[in-house]
Chains A and B, each alone.
Chain A
């Protein structure tokens, strides 16, 4: 019930294309869903986050879509660039868990020029 399942494990996209990464969760107490970007040798960096009271949030080229009934959320990267090549993690936490983040397994994104 504490798991967050992420897919795909790896993704190859052409420059200018749309990258889509999906996550699913079981714990209905989760109420905060961030996405992190991690480059080799670096720690995860917060990209964008959403709460269940909205179904979509957009920041620049990054969009989170959230489906509360299906307990799924996804990250869309529009106009993908080679500089977006990194590992992406979804995560979830609940207000009753004091901010502890449960991470997905990660998606390694490669954007080809």
Chain B
């Protein structure tokens, strides 16, 4: 049973560029959340998707946007990249009515 799958695993982008990260949730999960984890810090909630709609959003600018597809997979898009966007981006899936996330291994984004 595959867990949460994220792609790519590593990515290097130039300041000002745009990036798209992808996530496939664990089988049976319908809710996807995205977190940003800076080096040496705890993950910070970006947003959550359920039924193809953004249900909750953390304290992140509009440069961060997302999408959920009918098969529950999700994308995170970041526009106009800043050096400070360099972090590990984690996708977590769950069922809407139960606690307990399963996290993917993340995408390491480096902005130069």
Say if A and B assemble together: yes
Chain A contacts to B: CB under 8 angstroms: 6, 32, 34, 36, 41-46, 49, 89, 91, 93, 97-106
Tell which of A6, A49, A100 touches B100, judged by Cβ atoms closer than 8 Å: A49
- A41: chain B residues at CB < 8 Å are 105
Q: Does B99 contact A43, Cβ atoms closer than 8 Å? A: no
Enumerate chain A residues within 8 angstroms of B99, measured Cβ to Cβ: 32, 34, 49, 93, 99
Q: Do the beta carbons of B42 and A106 come within 8 Å of each other? A: yes
Contact A104:B42 (CB < 8 A) given known A34-B100, A43-B4, A99-B48: yes
How many chain B residues touch A (Cβ–Cβ < 8 Å)?
Answer: 25
B106, A43: Cβ atoms closer than 8 Å: yes
Residues of B within 8 A of A (CB): 4, 31, 33, 35, 40-45, 48, 55-56, 58, 90, 92, 94, 99-106
B44 contacts which chain A residues (CB < 8 A)? 103
A-B contact pairs, 17 of them (CB 8 A): A32-B99, A34-B99, A42-B105, A43-B90, A45-B103, A89-B43, A99-B94, A99-B101, A100-B33, A100-B56, A100-B58, A101-B43, A101-B101, A103-B43, A103-B44, A106-B41, A106-B42
Contacts of B104 in A (CB 8 A): 43
In the complex, chain B residues whose CB is within 8 Å of the CB of A103: 42-44
Who on chain A is nearest to B42 by CB? A103
Complex alpha-carbon distance, A44 and B4, angstroms: 12
| In-complex Cβ contact of A100 among B41, B45, B90 (8 A) | B45
